[in-house]
């Protein structure tokens, strides 16, 4: 083998290694591909979707999957494929924003509680216990009902309820790390408390939360769909997978495609995020491959 | 002793840790109240500018806690630390900050004392930024200078700790301590985790830097050979107290306290033909939770008499050039390991 080919091989190997493919991290690649696919579909929805997702077309109502409508139409004659494609916009946004706010709030509060200790810790942990005492969906429904049904209320409710998991996760890690040698060393060098917490402790305990957030996206998408299904989330006629399933349930025996395809879309997106979570856990060394 | 005013003065320092039990005021049920370990028990010490002092003792004797207490890293329950004449109060953040701007610590585990997420250059640069030791555009040059000073290539600045060897990490630890331009360094078992050949390199580096920068060095170690090599004075600790303190050559030539004698006798000889001296110490050190009355060393002491078990804890008193915490003036040892 010539030296040139060898070095090119090395270059390829390095490229693969930096991408994490050196260890054939199939979960990460596959999950990433699925989510990337959904993201592209969401971004380019107006160009991909063959029909308007909202406009009624009653002459073509309740058509089964066929050539003109690959996934069929619903009881208003709307194209299911187009609605699933547009739905990706809402559901992906729901998954990402619905996890981002709890992640930021929970991580910060958990880190502060763990590092400060004392009454700050006690207070935050008791609030956390109160939130945890209620079933997740019940509390969500109550908060959304008090505010007003809609996506904004959904995010607010999630931020109020969802932070507890992150807070507990991060607090436990911070408690371990705050007595570690490198934190002691940082203190001995006269670093301030905020610097130690946010620059030294947090970066070393955030991996677990990131992995958890990926699987949390799955829960949030499912919760969002459930809440839309119950009529408290995204309002019809917006194309959202949970709404679509709710609207199609009256026709489940005669037109199975109205509920089945958005259901499959939810499963596929959840699958992608789950794979991503597994892959990241492997990547961060939190779990044996 | 030099006439110069001491740089570091520790007086009657006490550190207690709670070891189980319930900490309720007024709770007097036996077995339920909080129990405490006196990790550091009324320790007094002074370090002159440019002086090296060794602190030796068994594991758990409180020597590391003493080092941490001096820098305010653990809470103290009594006593006083003065640095360059100014009192350092644990609750007064500015006094602690002043201290930590001029005193640094080197830790035992070179890997664990570096943030695994930060590269070496950043770990040092952060110290420079926090203490304002270099202008923003001069930081990279100063980091390279510090790395060269401790014998590392400046190219290592982009490496993460896990990409370095233990010896290299310890050099980074030293570079980081030097970054604050300290007048005092507390080295806590800083070579114990390293290979013997690397130990020698690090020790030589420390000695050279200490001389060149006229640093004061508090060298905490269980390795008597290293302390003898490195330190002008030595303090021997047992169960949180200093039992003997003096110039290294005096203490090693004619130890007065029976514990120091036992420690010195236990140092293995390199000569394989010489039999190891019979162990002088019986048993384990007593539980620090349940210290014996009187002299804490008396259950293990070959010279113990009635007064040791009953009487008060012996205070440090001067005999010759050494100060020792023992009731008796024991006759000098004739030879290592042979005690009359």
Shortest Cα distance, chain B CAs vs residue A218, angstroms: 29
Q: Does A188 touch chain B (CB under 8 A)?
A: yes
pLDDT score for B217:
92
Torsion sign across C-alpha atoms B25, B27, B32, B35: positive
A184·B68 Cβ contact <8 A: yes
Q: Does A181 touch chain B (CB under 8 A)?
A: yes
pLDDT score for B335:
47
Shortest Cα distance, chain B CAs vs residue A277, angstroms: 21
Can you give the residue range of the structural domain that contains A106? 33-283
Chain B hits for A194, CB-CB cut-off 8 Å, are none
Q: Does B41 touch chain A (CB under 8 A)?
A: no
Preferred mutation among B113, B182, B188 to probe A, highest tally of A CBs within 10 A: B113
Query: Looking at the domain assignment, is residue A6 inside a domain?
Result: no
B130·A204 Cβ contact <8 A: no
Backbone angles phi, psi at B322, to 5 degrees: -110, 150
pLDDT tens across the length of chain B (340 residues): 445 688 898 988 988 888 776 666 666 666 666 778 888 888 889 899 989 999 998 887 888 899 999 998 888 888 889 998 888 887 788 888 888 989 999 998 888 899 988 889 999 999 999 998 888 888 999 999 999 988 899 998 899 898 898 889 999 999 999 999 899 999 998 888 888 888 888 888 888 888 888 889 999 998 888 898 889 999 999 888 888 999 988 888 888 888 888 888 877 666 667 666 666 677 777 777 777 777 888 888 877 777 787 767 777 877 777 888 888 777 766 444 444 4
pLDDT score for A114:
92
The answer to whether A98 and A154 are in contact (CB under 8 A) is: yes
Query: Looking at the domain assignment, is residue A13 inside a domain?
Result: no
Show which of residues 202-221 on chain A sit within 8 Å of chain B, judged by CB atoms.
203-204
Q: Please provide the DSSP assignment of B212-270 as one string.
A: HHT-EEEEEES-HHHHHHH-SEEEEEETTEEEEEEEHHHHHHS--SHHHHHHHHTSPPS
Q: Does B75 touch chain A (CB under 8 A)?
A: no
pLDDT score for B26:
65
Instruction: Report whether pLDDT(A4) > 70.
Output: no
Chain B hits for A195, CB-CB cut-off 8 Å, are 130
B131·A180 Cβ contact <8 A: no
The DSSP letter of residue B27 is -
Shortest Cα distance, chain A CAs vs residue B165, angstroms: 17
Shortest Cα distance, chain A CAs vs residue B222, angstroms: 19
Shortest Cα distance, chain A CAs vs residue B216, angstroms: 16
Helix (H, G, I), strand (E, B) or coil at B131: coil
pLDDT score for B4:
64
Give the model's confidence band at A108: pLDDT under 50 very low, under 70 low, under 90 confident, else very high: very high
Query: Looking at the domain assignment, is residue A20 inside a domain?
Result: no
Nearest-Cα residue of chain A relative to residue B73: A188
| Helical packing angle, A207-229 and A241-248, nearest 10° | 30
Q: Does B115 touch chain A (CB under 8 A)?
A: yes
Q: Does B114 touch chain A (CB under 8 A)?
A: yes
Q: Does B122 touch chain A (CB under 8 A)?
A: no
Q: Does B117 touch chain A (CB under 8 A)?
A: yes
Query: Looking at the domain assignment, is residue A267 inside a domain?
Result: yes
Preferred mutation among A117, A190, A201, A210 to probe B, highest tally of B CBs within 10 A: A190
Instruction: Report whether pLDDT(A115) > 80.
Output: yes
Size of interface A-B (CB pairs under 8 A): 53
Q: Does A192 touch chain B (CB under 8 A)?
A: yes
Shortest Cα distance, chain A CAs vs residue B187, angstroms: 12
Query: Looking at the domain assignment, is residue A23 inside a domain?
Result: no
Task: Identify the CATH number of the domain in which residue A191 sits.
Answer: 1.10.3720.10
Helix, strand, coil: what percent of chain B each, to 5?
Answer: 30, 20, 45
Which of A181, A189, A200 lies closest to B100 in CB terms?
Answer: A189
pLDDT score for A54:
81
Task: Report how many domains make up chain A.
Answer: 1
Q: Does A185 touch chain B (CB under 8 A)?
A: yes
pLDDT score for B290:
74
pLDDT score for A217:
84
Q: Does A200 touch chain B (CB under 8 A)?
A: yes
pLDDT score for B332:
65
Give percent of chain A above pLDDT 90. 29
Query: Looking at the domain assignment, is residue A25 inside a domain?
Result: no
pLDDT digits (tens, 9 = 90+) for A184-222: 999 999 898 899 998 899 888 888 888 888 888 878 888
CA distance B215 to B212: 8
pLDDT score for A106:
93
Which of A181, A187, A199 lies closest to B112 in CB terms?
Answer: A181
Show which of residues 80-109 on chain B sit within 8 Å of chain A, judged by CB atoms.
97, 100-101, 104-105, 107-109
Query: Looking at the domain assignment, is residue A5 inside a domain?
Result: no
Ramachandran region of residue A78, left (φ > 0), alpha (ψ -120 to 50) or beta? beta
Mean pLDDT, rounded, for A148-174: 91
pLDDT score for B23:
67
Q: Does A190 touch chain B (CB under 8 A)?
A: yes
Task: With residue B288 as reference, give the H or E element that holds it.
Answer: none
pLDDT digits (tens, 9 = 90+) for A222-245: 888 788 888 888 887 888 888 888
Shortest Cα distance, chain B CAs vs residue A265, angstroms: 38
Query: Looking at the domain assignment, is residue A146 inside a domain?
Result: yes
Torsion sign across C-alpha atoms A27, A33, A34, A35: positive
The answer to whether B191 and B171 are in contact (CB under 8 A) is: no
The two three-digit tokens of residue B198, written as one number: 């690397």
């Amino acid at each position: 083998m010539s030296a040139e080919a060898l070095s090119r091989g090395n270059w390829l190997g390095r490229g693969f290694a930096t991408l994490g493919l050196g260890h054939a991290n199939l979960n990460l690649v596959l999950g990433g591909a699925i989510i990337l696919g959904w993201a592209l579909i969401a971004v380019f929805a107006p160009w991909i979707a063959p029909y308007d997702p909202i406009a009624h077309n009653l002459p073509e109502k309740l058509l089964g999957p066929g050539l003109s409508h690959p996934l069929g139409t619903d009881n208003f004659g709307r194209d299911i494929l187009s609605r699933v494609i547009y739905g990706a916009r809402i559901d992906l946004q729901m998954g990402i924003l619905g996890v981002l706010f709890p992640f930021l709030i929970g991580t910060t509060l958990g880190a502060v509680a763990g590092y400060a200790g004392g009454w700050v810790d006690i207070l935050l942990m008791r609030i956390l216990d109160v939130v945890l005492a209620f079933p997740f969906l019940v509390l969500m429904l109550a908060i959304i009902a008090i505010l007003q049904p809609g996506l904004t209320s959904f995010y607010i409710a999630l931020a109020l309820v969802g932070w507890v998991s992150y807070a507990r996760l991060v607090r436990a890690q911070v408690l371990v790390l705050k007595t570690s040698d490198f934190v002691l060393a940082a203190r001995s060098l006269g670093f301030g408390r905020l610097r130690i917490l946010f620059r030294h402790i947090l970066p070393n305990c955030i991996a677990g939360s990131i992995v958890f957030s990926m699987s949390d996206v799955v829960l949030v998408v499912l919760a969002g769909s459930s809440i839309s299904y119950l009529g408290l989330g995204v309002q019809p006629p917006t194309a959202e997978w949970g709404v679509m399933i709710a609207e199609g349930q009256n026709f489940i025996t005669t037109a199975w495609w109205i509920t089945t395809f958005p259901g499959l879309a939810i499963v596929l997106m959840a699958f992608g995020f789950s794979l991503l979570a597994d892959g990241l856990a492997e990547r961060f060394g939190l779990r044996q491959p | 002793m030099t006439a110069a005013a001491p740089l570091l003065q520790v007086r009657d320092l006490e550190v207690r840790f709670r070891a189980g039990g319930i900490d309720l005021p007024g709770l007097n049920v036996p077995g339920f109240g909080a129990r405490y370990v006196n990790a550091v028990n009324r320790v007094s010490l002074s370090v002159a500018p440019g002086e090296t002092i060794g602190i030796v003792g068994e594991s758990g004797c409180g020597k590391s806690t003493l080092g941490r207490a001096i820098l305010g890293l653990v809470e103290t329950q009594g006593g006083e630390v003065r640095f360059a004449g100014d009192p350092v109060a644990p609750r007064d953040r500015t006094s602690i900050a002043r201290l930590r701007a001029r005193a640094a610590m080197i830790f035992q585990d070179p890997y664990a004392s570096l943030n695994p997420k930060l590269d070496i250059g950043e770990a040092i640069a952060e110290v420079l930024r926090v203490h304002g030791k270099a202008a923003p555009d001069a930081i990279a040059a100063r980091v390279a200078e510090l790395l060269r000073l401790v014998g590392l290539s400046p190219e290592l600045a982009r490496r993460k700790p896990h990409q370095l060897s233990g010896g290299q990490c310890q050099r980074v630890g030293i570079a980081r301590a030097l970054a604050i331009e300290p007048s005092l360094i507390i080295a806590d078992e800083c070579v114990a985790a390293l290979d013997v050949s690397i130990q020698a390199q690090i020790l030589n580096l420390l000695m050279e830097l200490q001389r060149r920068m006229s640093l004061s060095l508090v060298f905490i170690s269980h390795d008597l050979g290293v302390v003898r090599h490195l330190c002008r004075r030595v303090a021997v600790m047992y169960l949180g107290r200093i039992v003997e303190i003096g110039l290294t050559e005096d203490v090693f030539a004619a130890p007065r306290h029976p514990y120091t004698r036992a420690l010195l006798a236990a140092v293995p000889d390199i000569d394989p033909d010489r039999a190891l001296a019979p162990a002088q110490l019986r048993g384990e050190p007593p539980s620090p939770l349940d210290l014996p009355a009187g002299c804490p060393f008396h259950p293990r002491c070959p010279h113990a008499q009635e007064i040791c078990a009953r009487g008060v804890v012996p205070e440090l008193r001067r005999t010759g050039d050494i100060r020792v915490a023992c009731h008796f003036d024991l006759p000098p040892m004739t030879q290592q390991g042979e005690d009359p």
